[in-house]
C-alpha cells in the first residue's frame, strides 16, 4: 500500500535523495535502501536500542519504576517460553524476545500518521519467518545431530517415502504461514485506517479502529512468537 505522506520520504526528498514507493520502481541501490519498509525498520531498531539503553542505564538490586516494569515483562516472556520449550529452550529466549518487540513496535508504528509499519511489507515478515524456520533446523541439528532427520521420516521406516515429502512441505509451509498471516493482518489494518482517514478523518471515525489496532498489533506479535516457540520445542524433542 502506498501512503499519501510518509515523514521519512518527505525528508529524503528535501535532501535530494531518490525515493520510490516499491522495489519494482527502484533503479539504483540507494533507492532500494530508501524503500519505506527498510527505512522504517531502521527507525524501529533505533527505538528499541534507545529503550534498551534507557532500561539498562541505572540497574538497581531492588528494581523500581521503569526497571521494575521491564524486568516483569522480560521475566514473564521467558517463563512463558520455558513452559512451552522446556528448560532446554532457554538459550533461544533472546531471539524470541527480539522478534517479539520488533514486531510489536513495527505493528504500532503504522498507527502513527506519517509513519509506515515495516510488518505491512511481505519483505519484512518473510525475513522474520525465514529466521525462525532456519533457526528451528539449527536447533534440531544442535540437539540431535544427524539423527534430526528422523523428524522427517515418520514412526515406521517403510512409510518414509510417504511421510518425508509431507514433512518437507509442512516445514516450507511454516514460512508462508508465519509471513503471510502477519503481513495480511497488518496490511489490512493499514488499509482500513487509510480509508477511514480519507473518508472521515475529521470526525474521529478512525479512533475505534486505532484502539482495536492496539489489541490486534499485540495479538499478531504474540501469535508469531508462540508459533516460533512451538517450532523450537518440536525441534528439541526426540523424534517418534
Rounded to an integer, what distance in angstroms lies between the CA atom of residue 131 and that of residue 182? 15
Which residue ranges make up each domain of the chain?
A: 7-236
Cα distance between residue 127 and residue 115, in whole Å = 20
Helix/strand/coil (H, E, C) string of 159-227? HHHHHHHHHHHHHHHHHHHHHHHHHHHHHHHHHHHHHHHHHHHHHCCHHHHHHHHHHHHHHHHHHHHHH
CA 168 to mean position of chain CA atoms: 23
pLDDT in the model for residue 61 = 67
Mean pLDDT of 32-38: 72
Question: What is the pLDDT at residue 135?
Answer: 94
Task: Output 47 or 33, whichever has higher pLDDT.
Answer: 47
Helices (H), 111-159: 122-144
* This prediction's pTM: 0.84
Give residue 1's pLDDT band: very low, low, confident or very high (50, 70, 90).
Answer: very low
Closest CA to 235 of 135, 110, 93: 135
Amino acid at each position: 500500500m502506498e501512503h499519501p505522506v510518509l515523514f521519512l520520504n518527505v525528508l529524503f526528498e528535501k535532501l535530494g535523495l531518490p525515493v520510490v514507493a516499491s522495489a519494482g520502481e527502484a533503479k539504483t541501490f540507494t533507492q532500494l535502501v530508501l524503500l519505506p519498509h527498510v527505512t522504517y525498520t531502521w527507525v524501529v531498531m533505533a527505538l528499541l536500542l534507545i529503550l534498551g539503553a534507557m532500561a539498562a542505564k541505572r540497574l538497581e538490586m531492588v528494581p523500581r519504576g521503569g526497571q521494575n516494569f521491564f524486568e516483569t515483562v522480560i521475566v514473564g516472556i521467558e517463563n512463558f517460553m520455558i513452559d512451552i520449550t522446556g528448560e532446554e529452550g532457554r538459550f533461544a529466549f533472546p531471539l524470541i524476545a527480539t522478534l517479539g518487540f520488533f514486531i510489536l513496535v513495527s505493528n504500532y508504528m503504522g498507527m502513527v500518521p506519517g509513519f509506515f509499519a515495516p510488518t505491512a511489507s511481505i519483505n519484512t515478515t518473510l525475513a522474520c519467518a525465514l529466521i525462525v524456520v532456519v533457526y528451528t533446523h539449527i536447533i534440531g541439528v544442535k540437539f540431535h545431530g544427524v539423527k534430526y532427520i528422523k523428524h522427517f521420516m515418520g514412526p515406521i521406516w517403510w512409510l518414509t517415502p510417504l511421510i518425508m515429502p509431507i514433512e518437507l512441505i509442512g516445514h516450507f509451509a511454516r514460512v508462508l504461514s508465519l509471513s503471510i498471516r502477519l503481513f495480511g493482518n497488518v496490511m489490512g489494518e493499514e488499509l482500513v485506517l487509510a480509508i477511514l482517514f480519507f473518508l472521515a478523518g475529521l470526525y474521529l471515525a478512525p479512533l475505534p479502529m486505532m484502539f482495536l489496532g492496539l489489541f490486534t498489533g499485540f495479538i499478531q506479535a504474540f501469535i508469531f512468537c508462540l508459533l516460533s516457540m512451538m517450532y523450537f520445542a518440536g525441534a528439541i524433542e526426540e523424534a517418534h
